[in-house]
Amino acid sequence: MFQDMVFKTTSTKRAHAAFTLIEMIVASAIGVVLFTGVISMFLFASRSFASLTNYLDLDQKTQATLDKMSREIRQVKSLTDYSSTNLTFQNFDGSALKYIYNPNAQTLTRISGGTSSTTLLTGCDSLQFSIFQRGPTSNSFQPYPTSVTADTKVIELTWNCYRAVLGSKINTESMQSAKVVIRNK
């Protein structure tokens, strides 16, 4: 009789040790929700990291380009040709120095001496050059706009560049603007 009791207790425990179908469905649903949450967090973190990396790269390149252009424009002798997307200078050594924006390729290129070509910026949605005379306009500290290259003393550089993150331009734009004075004029 004692053996029958032990056998019944053991067999009863075995019958109750398994999961029911309802318990399995609930556990699966909770697992799917948790897995979806983890994947969503991973994708969000990956996109944020890619955006941050692209933005830092873009900021470094635009700042380096602005520094280089400012340094070189300050040292030129004069502006010899101008359009809103192209500048041509007579450099301090007498050679030509050009900055050319190609809106189709979205690039800013520097050409020195007619042979040495360097791409300074890529991914530029817009870029514009403006020229000004030395004196300020009335009742302001803004330089007076000019259309004559011989009268140009101040060059304004303005551009908007981007880097794509997973195929879109979200949160990776950089706007730069500066006015540079030609010192040798």
pLDDT tens digits in sequence order for the chain, 185 residues long = 555 555 555 555 555 677 888 999 999 999 999 999 999 999 989 888 887 888 888 888 889 999 999 999 999 999 999 999 999 999 888 899 999 999 999 999 999 987 788 999 988 889 999 999 877 767 777 788 888 888 899 999 999 888 777 677 665 677 888 999 998 76
Residue 78 domain flag: yes
Task: Please state the pTM of the whole predicted model.
Answer: 0.72
Domain count, the chain: 1
Burial code (b: 16+ CB inside 10 Å, e: under 16) for 14-25 equals: eeeeeeeeeeee
C-alpha–C-alpha distance, residues 71 and 103, integer Å: 24
C-alpha–C-alpha distance, residues 133 and 2, integer Å: 111
**Domain range holding 35?**
26-181
Q: Smallest Cα–Cα separation from 74: which of 178, 161, 177?
A: 178
C-alpha–C-alpha distance, residues 172 and 53, integer Å: 9
Residue 48 domain flag: yes
Residue 7 domain flag: no
Q: How many CB atoms lie within 10 A of CB 158?
A: 15
